[in-house]
């Protein structure tokens, strides 16, 4: 009972814990009585919207206790890498995936690799990722691409496949790139247009 939230993600996700904490503090959970299921929304079809598992998802104590006392109280031997789909189907009807975009329509839970998020124009690239991006546009009501797609309050990044990618995204998020490098110069232009 010594927790308020429980976060699920894979080992290819970089968490920005202080942004997660700040974001969770901003949500009205009705003094811990309202169930919360928080993450990057994904449409499974058949009227089921889930929090996509790539960037991870966060549940509060109310939601987790409901799962443990209800659906998870009986053994389930299914094996699949799509636990986010199972979770979305189980939670559908109990709690919806909470909207996590910021005031500008940018994402907090980034389900794409950093290069795609930074360079996609919404037309070219991986079909799955483009489909997810277009779904996002529908939900926020506008086309958000490139640097505008990623919130300055991002909580998590998915598909960081190497320690080098973890280091690079960390340097971008915390603005610790060595001065005079291409990346530091590009960030300077973004921060001071």
Neighbours of 23 (CB within 10 A): 20
Whether this prediction's pTM lies above 0.85 is answered by no
Lowest model confidence (mean pLDDT) among 97-101, 103-107, 134-138, 154-158: 134-138
Q: Does residue 22 surpass a pLDDT of 90? A: yes
Instruction: Flag whether pLDDT at 65 surpasses 90.
Output: yes
Q: What span, in angstroms and rounded, lies between the C-alpha atoms of 98 and 63?
A: 12
137: helix, strand or coil: helix
pLDDT at position 191: 85
Give strand pairing partners of 157: 14, 110
pLDDT per position as a tens digit, 134-154: 777 777 777 777 777 788 899
Give the angle subtended at the CA of 21 by the CAs of 39 and 175, to the nearest 5°: 95
Q: What is the pLDDT of residue 57?
A: 94
User: Residue-wise over 148-170: b if at least 16 C-beta within 10 A, else e?
Assistant: ebbbebbbbbbbbeeeebbebbe
Confidence class for position 8, pLDDT limits 50, 70, 90: very high
Higher pLDDT, residue 94 or 48:
94
First to last CA, the chain: 47
The Cα angle at residue 152 between residues 13 and 139, in degrees rounded to 5: 80
């Amino acid at each position: 009972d010594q927790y308020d939230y429980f976060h699920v993600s894979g080992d290819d996700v970089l968490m920005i814990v202080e942004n997660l904490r700040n974001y969770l503090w901003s949500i009205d959970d009705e003094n811990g009585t309202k169930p919360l299921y928080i993450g990057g929304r994904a449409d499974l079809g058949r009227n089921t919207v889930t929090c996509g598992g790539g960037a991870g998802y966060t549940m509060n104590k109310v939601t987790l206790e409901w799962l443990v006392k209800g659906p998870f109280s009986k053994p389930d031997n299914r094996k699949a890498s799509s636990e986010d789909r199972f979770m979305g189907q189980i939670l559908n009807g109990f709690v919806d995936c909470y909207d996590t975009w910021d005031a500008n329509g940018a994402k907090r839970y980034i389900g794409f690799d950093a290069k795609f998020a930074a360079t996609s124009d919404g037309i070219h690239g991986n079909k799955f990722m483009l489909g997810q991006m277009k779904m996002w546009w529908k939900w926020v009501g506008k086309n958000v691409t490139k640097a505008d797609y990623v919130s300055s309050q991002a909580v998590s990044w998915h598909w960081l496949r190497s320690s080098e990618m973890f280091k690079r995204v960390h340097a971008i998020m915390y603005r610790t790139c060595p001065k005079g490098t291409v990346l530091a110069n590009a960030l300077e232009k973004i921060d001071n247009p």
